[in-house]
Amino acid sequence: MKRLIYSLCLVASCLVSRAQEIVVTLELGQPLTLMYNENNGNFCFLKNLQDTIQPLKSQSDTLTYFTDLGRLQVYQSQNALHYHYHGHWKQAKTYDLATSGKQNIQSSFYRDDPGNIAWLRWSRFRKMPLLYSPYQHYQSYLVALQNGAYLNAHGDQIILTENEIRYREYATEKVSTFRHFEPFIRKEVYVLAHGDSLFGYYYQPTGKSQFPACLLLQGGGSEGLDNYTPEAEFFAAHGMATVVFNKSGEGRSRGSTFFRNQSFTDKLDEYEVLFSWLAEQTGVDRECMGIHGMSEGGRLSVDLAARLGKRVAFVNSVAAPFASYADNQLYAIRHFMQQSLVEDSLIAATTYAWSRYFRERANGSLSASTRKMITGLRQRHSRLYLPSLAGDDLVKENINYESIGSLAKVTCPVLFQWGANDERVDAVRSIAFIREHRQNKLDWLRSYPESSHSFTDRWMNTSQGYFADKIGWLRSLQILTP
């Protein structure tokens, strides 16, 4: 991690991690939680499950967070987390990183006689099973009753045993039995891309000699592989080979490149190599290859498909911003401040400061007047989210990067998905761009009520229809068969 000063606003393209574990709680008037992502070795400071602030990775750097409780500084030593609040350094309770080596998410798949698939995921973070029901078409956490019995959000009763799931629907009292099966083999792979060795998980379906395939692209930020394996596993369980990689310089990837310093064009060059690698795998049907991307990856999935042309048979673009990077960041900043009930005059002053910052950074360096304006705002309002004048990892070439032109260039069908309550991407604007520039009748455009950027509701259940629409769309294209 290169930068020292972080702002919540600059993670507008990141998804909330689904693979983190609480390791320590800081008591600062109310519980504030630090979470450790053992998949990529990062820490995240959370106010609650919805608000993720940039990760703490360095062993020595001091990071500054701006919370609703004021300014908080944090640094990590070998066995403890230290925080500076109200003028004093304090030490949080210690934790042992060596105990955090277990897998955060464990998945199991089950199938009934007609071939419907149920998907059970055990999360160490929530300590609760998460079940995808083929009847409700979404994932929800299960509430334990007794003797292996659980209830989901719809009142359906689920009995979990070692090798099967017995599912009783509340509305119809219909009972179905799902038996455990192994739908894929997961392989750890390294792929050489422009001098770096990128680590990934490759999921190969079992029982088929030929199958479609999909490259999964991560969103912005540093969430780690566990945040993107659910989609990879779900596709693989339905007969599609999938692969998802650590970013350059993250997790188990090796090399001199660090993803925060890459331009979007650099990332596309890298993704093209990974797509070509996937095409060479035994059993992959090159006529049925696609790209799935979330947030930043949703943007770049469309750009990559425009670049690769007829090599791509489908694209699943999820929570994608198509306007410029700067425009989308301004939306996220404004939306966050409105949710925080900041007065309109301060929102206007802050977004104006950010817009000048982006414009001048794109053209070179900051002017003295802009520096003075940002410094003055910070002195008068220390809790505002403002650009750092101490340096950051913003890539100049990315500031005005937009993907609107790629929409018309993509010849294959696209499934677009957004959460109706997306707090980090302007879904309304992105949908307007699609309706203006896309003419493919095989496209699907789906928006999910009460869903956030991470496609969860207020109870952290996955949006109803989010996974089912993926499979339904791919079957409508005959990429997948029932």
Q: Between residues 263 and 128, which one has the greater pLDDT?
A: 263
**Contact between residue 100 and residue 36 where contact means Cβ atoms under 8 Å apart:** yes
CA distance 172 to 260: 51
In the structure encoding, which two tokens stand for residue 313, read together? Answer: 């048979």
Query: Which residues of the chain does CATH 3.40.50.1820 include?
Result: 184-324+399-476
- pLDDT of 301 reads 98
* Range among 146-150, 171-175, 288-292 with highest mean pLDDT value: 288-292
Domain boundaries 20-100, corresponding CATH code = 2.40.128
Is the pLDDT at 31 greater than 90, yes or no? no
**Contact between residue 10 and residue 54 where contact means Cβ atoms under 8 Å apart:** yes
- C-alpha atoms less than 13 angstroms from C-alpha of 173 in its C-beta half-sphere: 0
Is the pLDDT at 88 greater than 60, yes or no? no
How buried is 113 (Cβ within 10 angstroms: 0-12 exposed, 13-18 middle, 19+ buried)?
exposed
459-469 confidence digits (pLDDT tens): 777 888 899 99
Q: How many CB atoms lie within 10 A of CB 476?
A: 13
- pLDDT of 83 reads 54
**Contact between residue 180 and residue 109 where contact means Cβ atoms under 8 Å apart:** yes
Q: How many CB atoms lie within 10 A of CB 334?
A: 18
In sequence order, what DSSP letters do the residues of 279-315 get, joined into one string? HTSTTEEEEEEEEEEETHHHHHHHHHHHHHGGG--EE
376-413 confidence digits (pLDDT tens): 999 999 888 898 887 667 899 999 999 999 999 999 99
**Contact between residue 15 and residue 453 where contact means Cβ atoms under 8 Å apart:** yes
Kindly state the average pLDDT of the residues 444-455.
91
> pTM for the complete prediction?
0.78
- pLDDT of 105 reads 60
The helix or strand, by DSSP H or E, that contains position 429, with its residue range, turns out to be: helix 427-437
Class of domain 105-181: mainly beta
Radius of gyration, CA atoms only, the chain: 23
DSSP 462: B
Query: Which residues of the chain does CATH 2.40.128 include?
Result: 20-100, 105-181
**Contact between residue 191 and residue 200 where contact means Cβ atoms under 8 Å apart:** yes
Kindly state the average pLDDT of the residues 56-60.
42
Domain 184-324+399-476: which CATH number of 3.90.660.20, 3.40.50.1820, 3.40.50.300, 3.10.20.740: 3.40.50.1820
Of the chain, the percentage scoring pLDDT greater than 90 comes to: 52
